[in-house]
Amino acid sequence: MVMGDLPQQTDLLVIGGGPGGYVAALRAAALGKSVTLVEKERLGGMCLHYGCIPSKTLIHAANFVEDARHAEEIGLTASTSVDVAKLRAWKEKVVGQLCRGIEHLCQKRGVTVIQGVAQFESPNRALIHLPDGKQGIEFGKAIIATGSKSIEIPGFSYRQARIWNSRKALELTEIPKRLVVIGAGYIGLELGFMYAKLGSHVTILEGMPSFLPQADNETRKLLEKRMKELGVELKLNCKVEGYSETTPSAGQKVGGDAALTVRTSGGNVYTDYVLVCVGHRPYVEGLALEKARVKTDSKGFIVTNISMQTNQPHIYAIGDVRGGPLLAHKAYLEGKVAGEHAAGHNVAFLAKVIPSVIFCDPEIASAGLSEEEAKKQGLHVKAAKFPFQASGRALSMNAGDGFVKVVASEDNTILGVQIVGPDAGELIGEAVLAIELGASVEDFALSIHPHPTLSEGLTEAMENFLGKGVHS
Amino acid sequence: MAETILFTDVGEGIHEGKLVQWRVAEGEAIKEDQPLCEIETDKAVVEIPSSKTGTVLKLHASVGQIMHVGDSLVTVGQPGESIPAVTASAVSSGHPSSPAAPVTTSSSPTVPVSKPPVSAPTSASLSATSAPKATPAVRKLAQQLGVDLNRVNGSGPGGLVTESDVQSAKSSASKDAQGASSELPASSSQYRQAAAGPSIHPALIKAAPSVRKLAFELGVDLGRVQGSGTGGRITEDDVRNANAPQSTAMSASAPTAASVPASPVSVSVPAPSAATRRIHVVSRPYGTEIRKPFTPVRKIISERLSWSAALPTVTHVDEADVTELWKIREKEKVHADEKGVKLTLLPFVVKAVCKALQEFPDFNASLDDEKGEVVLKKYYDVGIAVDTPIGLMVPVLKDADKKSVFDIAQQVQLLATKAKERSLKADELSGSTFTITNIGSAGGIYATPLINPPEAAILGVMRMQTRPAFAPAKKNATDSKAKPSKSAPKVEARQFLPLCLTFDHRLNDGAAAALFVMEVKKHLENPEGLLVGDI
């Protein structure tokens, strides 16, 4: 960690060095402010250390294993085995490289990075708990970027070795023989699919009658199909009641050598580990927000305006701690806005859409309004689809499941795009640009996309919208 | 019954101000005329007194908030009484802080503002007594959103206020309150609201991110902008054009919105082109640039002077030989210093100007365009331009003609100090009939000042120069030895004071201006008359 001496005062105090905080610090420093960034652990936050980056690194490896398993279908013979220690080392190498990159940037821009925990004493003063003591700091402005924490469910304490949150799941201590995932939201599905591909028998428990509420029925059907193929069990309407350690003698018959018995409304489930993915809550403990007189909403998220200012105009909040979709790329832009605003620029968060990607199988990506959302908001929209079954590139990748769907207004302005299928996350960026620029369906359809690529799926969907589809 | 007290015009045509301090709290019993709060206008901090006796039920604004004329300040009633919705009938106006201000916000056109009431100031036309046109559903919406219908311009037939008018008023109000208000937008919905007001669904607004950024910077509601680009896309030019009409409206109201002397004379002026064209400076990576806010004071200065610059004015330059005056000043300075008064040449100039104005009444005048009349003022209130850290201020020295040089010196000093401390009262900033700007205190040989509308002229006093010059012939050459006709003119060090008179050519011609300055010169060069009954 880049360490500096903690100054007595600073123009800008940034609390939290995740995607929101470090970006805000770098922007404000580039604009000439003296910036002190206080981070409890390492720069990069949840995203880099136990979120986006490690999960995508491991999901990449898991997909590799899964592809190899099916290589025979396309005439290849391969045998793979997973070396957990090496895979973990590779993941840590990726994370380490990115973390050093952020440290280097902070050093280059003159951001003072302090390892510690900040606690407000007043709207203009904070106490920093350092590893070896405490020290006060006066600040002109402050940005709160403390992120969020995994919600714990009663009886399933993350302090227990066999109860995981996403952070512990991504430490990859072992690949369990059996894994129960509580919560069929996007993190539960991503990690459930990942462990299934790495070899675990995965059971996903969901209390609601449906799962992944942001997806449509067709997407859910594709996911269910894939779960069957991967041997993932999905139990809906299944309420978790508790768990107990299975004594070796007692569990022999029913649960085999399973270490845990999870009691649910649908009966006992035997497993070795339980991964709880029931959402995140704002991380504000220890901040003493009341001393800074900063207001939060009923769920504890800090309330701000579109320039990220809280009710104390010189204190900002960005990223997960201010709510909205808990996504790193949202935090990045909020960090830029807050950093620039704190440096005296009149800026605001003006993005129309915040895209989202779910890295399960098939991959799911979305930008803007779905057909359902648009109709709920009283908009007159039309929608059209293109199935990847008709895409040369998708079939050549042995990945024909999925589709591209476009939602547009009556005058053909693109309002939303949903993609389910291979590399959906890579493809969605173009849709974001189209929506932000106010492109029409025709603009998109008339832009040549290279053949044979998955991106043709987008133009095909646009042409279908216009009733001019050729390939479907 | 509980009544809501509004923020009214504080007497200098000011239409907004920042709430700097509450002087009462919710639940506090108050009496009529007790100060409710302090509002910092562009040039002064004014106390807003209560027009009611009762208990404060609710404070409607928070410290730091920008208040506009017509905004609710407090609701006063009996303890425990419920707070009625702010409607036109429940509203009473706060007492004006200045005796020169309109007494109520009624639409009466004959409210006296200052000495000769030629016509009423237009800013008093916000009517709180006549209910605005709106359907019940719209009024309900306005109440829910906390929008004051009196402040909404109706876009429907016959000025009817529509739902979208109310919604956009709400969205622009929350924009104003950004950063200051504790009522921040809920985080769940604000992404969609970010780019535009609710006049159109934000998803349907076709504007690229760079255009939305510009609209945010300029405060333009994209939902109300007609796109001129392909397929109705909004371009940067569309946003700038949409912004321009608002600034036309501002400059049209400049005579009353400005805080430099609010004139009793309503003058209609063509909108100055400089103020209507908005220029967006795009930062380019050529070097370090710093952006700082264009402050409210600078905006006022900008509006007033853009108006002034649109007038047909001419500057006439002359200089007065002040050698004799300088001697008097040097002598009297000692006495003044003893009394803690700094004696400069300025008070003498003020005195000389008053005498010249009495001789040339067309320079102590204003043009009433509407009536086609010239208003000659028989009082001599001289504005003194003062340079302050936040910008130019023009406090007014009332009845300067009746004051001694010493009194003038003392009062100018006091006004200048107050201007720099921003503690001037509204009436100390209004009503001047002629302005003097003492540019010489900073330096310079000559300048072309801009007049302070609706005055007829402004006199720029430059830095005194000591130069070798021929001594003037003695007036009473009784010395028998001297033969004035034959003696060689004598060169000596003499003091000259350059004078630059900018005048409105519609009211006076060049010859009159030259004669007026000659008259000022005459008094400065023969200073004895200035000191009659003085010091």
> What's the pLDDT score for residue A324?
92
Residue A470 inside a domain? The answer is: no
Looking at the fold, whether A88 and A101 belong to one and the same domain comes out as: yes
Residue A354 inside a domain? The answer is: no
Torsion of CA B140, B142, B146, B147, to 10 degrees: -160
Please check whether the domain covering B312-471+490-531 is classified as CATH 3.30.559.10: yes
- Among the three residues A276, A296, A330, which one is the final residue of a domain in this structure? A276
Q: Where are the beta strands (DSSP E) in A240-363?
A: 240-245, 260-264, 267-271, 273-276, 280-282, 315-317, 356-358
Residue A99 inside a domain? The answer is: yes
* Contact: A311, B217; criterion CB under 8 Å: no
C-alpha B17: how far from chain center? 12
Q: Is A212 helix (H, G, I), strand (E, B) or coil?
A: coil
Residues of A in contact with B217 (CB under 8 A): 346
Q: ipTM of this predicted complex?
A: 0.77
Q: Is A374 helix (H, G, I), strand (E, B) or coil?
A: helix
A313–chain B Cβ distance below 8 A for any pair: yes
Extract long-range pairs of B165-169: CB within 8 Å, 24+ residues apart: B165/B138, B166/B134, B166/B138, B166/B141, B166/B142, B167/B141, B167/B197, B167/B198, B167/B199, B168/B197, B168/B198, B168/B199, B168/B221, B168/B223, B168/B224
- Identify which of B184, B195, B291 has the shortest CB distance to residue A311: B184
Looking at the fold, whether A35 and A108 belong to one and the same domain comes out as: yes
Looking at the fold, whether A203 and A109 belong to one and the same domain comes out as: no
- Cβ-Cβ contacts under 8 Å between A and B: the total is 97
Encoded amino acid at B4, one letter: T
Residue A350 inside a domain? The answer is: no
Encoded amino acid at A359, one letter: F
Token pair of B258 as six digits: 């400005």
* Contact: A415, B203; criterion CB under 8 Å: yes
> What's the pLDDT score for residue B54?
87
Please tell me whether the peptide bond between B185 and the residue prior to it is cis, using omega within 30 degrees of 0: no
User: In angstroms, what separates the C-alpha of A352 from chain B's closest C-alpha?
Assistant: 7
Which parts of chain B sit beneath pLDDT 70? 1, 9-14, 42-43, 83-141, 143-144, 150-151, 153-163, 171-199, 244-287, 474-487, 532-535
> What's the pLDDT score for residue B248?
35
Looking at the fold, whether A143 and A18 belong to one and the same domain comes out as: yes
By residue range, what is the domain housing residue A323? 9-149+281-342
Residue A426 inside a domain? The answer is: yes
How many other β-carbons are positioned within 10 Å of the β-carbon of residue A90?
15
CATH number, domain with residue A41: 3.50.50.60
Query: Regarding the domain delimited by B3-129, which CATH topology (the fold level of the hierarchy) does it fall under?
Result: OB fold (Dihydrolipoamide Acetyltransferase, E2P) (2.40.50)
* Contact: A297, B201; criterion CB under 8 Å: no
B280 catalytic per annotation: no
What is the tally of structural domains in chain A?
3
CATH number, domain with residue A461: 3.30.390.30
User: In angstroms, what separates the C-alpha of A304 from chain B's closest C-alpha?
Assistant: 6
> What's the pLDDT score for residue B253?
33
> What's the pLDDT score for residue B135?
59
Q: Where are the alpha helices (DSSP H) in B285-404?
A: 296-309, 323-338, 346-359
Looking at the fold, whether A21 and A77 belong to one and the same domain comes out as: yes
> What's the pLDDT score for residue B172?
62
> What's the pLDDT score for residue B13?
56
Looking at the fold, whether A187 and A38 belong to one and the same domain comes out as: no
Residue A158 inside a domain? The answer is: no
Looking at the fold, whether A197 and A103 belong to one and the same domain comes out as: no
Looking at the fold, whether A168 and A268 belong to one and the same domain comes out as: yes
A370–chain B Cβ distance below 8 A for any pair: no
Integer angstrom CA distances of residue A246 from A204, A249, A269: 20, 8, 11
User: In angstroms, what separates the C-alpha of B330 from chain A's closest C-alpha?
Assistant: 49
Mean pLDDT, consecutive 10-residue stretches, chain A (472 aa), reads: 73 97 98 96 95 97 93 89 96 96 95 96 95 93 97 95 96 96 96 97 96 92 96 96 78 72 94 96 96 94 96 97 96 98 94 96 96 92 96 94 96 95 97 94 94 96 92 78
- Among the three residues A254, A276, A298, which one is the final residue of a domain in this structure? A276
Q: Please calculate the CA angle B22-B25-B31 and round it to the nearest 5 degrees.
A: 90
Looking at the fold, whether A440 and A453 belong to one and the same domain comes out as: yes
> What's the pLDDT score for residue B498?
96
Looking at the fold, whether A124 and A185 belong to one and the same domain comes out as: no
Looking at the fold, whether A145 and A290 belong to one and the same domain comes out as: yes
- Identify which of A295, A305, A352 has the shortest CB distance to residue B202: A352
* Contact: B216, A346; criterion CB under 8 Å: yes
Please check whether the domain covering B190-252 is classified as CATH 4.10.320.10: yes
CA distance A178 to A180: 7
- Domain spans, chain B: 3-129, 190-252, 312-471+490-531
